[in-house]
Amino acid sequence: MSLATPPRFALTAHKAGHLALDSDQGDTAHVFVLENDIIRVLVLPDGRLNQPRTFAIAPGAEDVAQEGRDRFDLAGFTQPEFTLEANTESLRIETAAIRLTIRLAGFFCSWALRSGTEWRSAASDRPTQAYNFGWWDERVYHYLRWLS
């Protein structure tokens, strides 16, 4: 694994509210369509969760239980219908309010928000090394480029 050969992802599972992508280097990514205005991306550089519980997601509640919440638990979210366009280079996931485009070579994401009938770019992954796929150390990194 090196910066010269970033992982290449492919869609491996698609069910209501959840897409799974695996790379040719053993990495995994999960995309959760939780609400029309919430799409959650979970990138696992080594293909597994190091911390299986989260303390940040509490739909319909004021706080998460002390033991945390399973990261794959979608209870409390409406998981709306969405469109999916896929080809060998990219995936595009679109709800009524948000569009996520994923470039499969290197797993680069860009987000757009609906404004009336138009889509406006909101954010994108940094064009170089947006995620740490084990290149530097075992820590999690995610670098974004905000758009205005």
Dump pLDDT digits (tens) for 137-146.
666 667 777 7
Distant-in-sequence, close-in-space partners of 70: CB < 8 Å, separation ≥ 6: 52, 53, 54
- Write out pLDDT tens, residues 74-131: 888 899 999 999 999 999 999 999 999 999 998 899 999 999 999 999 999 888 777 7
CB 73 within 8 A of CB 86: no
Q: Amino acid letter at 106?
A: G
* Residue (of 112, 144, 139, 147) closest to 51 by Cα position: 139
- Across all residues in the chain, what is the average pLDDT? 84
In the structure, what pLDDT confidence band is assigned to residue 34 with cuts at 50, 70 and 90?
Answer: very high
Nearest to 109 by CA among 39, 18, 57: 39
- The whole-model pTM stands at 0.85
> What's CA 39's distance to the chain center, in Å?
7
Q: Are 76 and 62 in contact (CB under 8 A)?
A: no
Would you state the pLDDT for residue 89? 96
Residue 40 has pLDDT above 60, yes or no: yes
